[in-house]
Amino acid sequence: MNKNLVRLNKFLANAGIASRRAVEQFILAGNVSVNGEIIRELGTKVDPEKDEVEYRGKKVEGSDEKTLILLNKPKGYVCTTRSFKDEKSIMDLIDLEQRVYPVGRLDKQSQGLVLLTNDGDLALKMSHPRYEKEKEYEVTVNKEITKDALDKLAKGVKIDVGITYPAKVRQTSDTSFNMIIHEGKNRQIRKMCSVLGYLVVKLKRIRINDIKLGNLKKGKYKIIKSANL
């Protein structure tokens, strides 16, 4: 048995192409080839030392150096590695030789802590709900929020994809509160507030597990040497 073999999705994620779940879609779509042959099987394994892997016609170089970046995402940027003519991407803020990709996302109008990495195992550990990594947000809504509404947010709210898990909610002013969740549903907090009749006017992520945004300025990033993940 060749001990050098690794799953293709893990190889691509560790090379900084995208998260494991994202590269699985690239494989299924026929965007990945191994030694000149298009691969669509998710269970495919490759030998990084011998096999030539290409993504959309470009050779993918494996990476043993793991990188984790903390970015303070400004409002108006999208969390994607793709380039769009009329969109500003968080990748425009990163000046790094290694390819990295965002771990989870913040929607375009939200701001705050975003992690980027080229470590597929870490990305999975930080983003998949089963690992229950806490994500803390500062939320401001368009009108005074009631205790009843805060209680409902904490217990769980039915949105388009189902009922949200219980959350921790702490009011900080008449129109703002901090909220801790461990899910990552698309625009979850905005949808939860909308169901209760509130419009989110500001949403800022300030913590993921033990990693805190701190006083890092908007649009700036730093490489994290060590963290309790």
pLDDT tens digits for range 68-83: 999 999 999 999 887 7
Which residues in the chain are classed under CATH 3.10.290.10?
6-59
pLDDT reported for residue 13: 84
CATH number (3.40.50.10470, 3.40.50.300, 3.30.450.20, 3.30.70.1560) of 134-208 reads 3.30.70.1560
The structure tokens listed for 142 are 């368009």
- Is 205 within 8 Å of 106 (Cβ atoms)? yes
Which residues contact residue 136 at a Cβ distance below 8 angstroms, ignoring those fewer than 6 apart? Answer: 178, 179, 180, 205, 206, 207, 208
Confidence of residue 64 (pLDDT cuts 50, 70, 90): low
Q: How far apart are CA 50 and CA 53, in angstroms?
A: 10
* C-alpha closest to that of 219 among 77, 69, 72: 72
pLDDT reported for residue 118: 84
Annotated active-site residue 107? The verdict is yes
Could you say which of 86, 95, 107, 174 is catalytic? 107
Which residues in the chain are classed under CATH 3.30.70.1560?
134-208
pLDDT reported for residue 116: 92
Share of the chain above pLDDT 70, in %: 95
Q: How far apart are CA 194 and CA 225, in angstroms?
A: 39
Which residues in the chain are classed under CATH 3.30.70.580?
68-128+212-223
Q: Which of 74-83, 100-109, 178-187, 191-200 has the highest mean pLDDT?
A: 191-200
**Average confidence (pLDDT) over 193-220:** 96
Q: What is the pTM of this model?
A: 0.76
Kindly state which CATH superfamily the domain 6-59 is placed in.
RNA-binding S4 domain (3.10.290.10)
**Does 226 score more than 60 pLDDT?**
no
Beta 58-59 vs 53-55: how paired, if at all?
Answer: antiparallel
Q: Does domain 68-128+212-223 have CATH number 3.30.70.580?
A: yes
pLDDT in tens, 129-149: 777 789 999 999 999 999 999
pLDDT reported for residue 75: 96
pLDDT reported for residue 184: 77
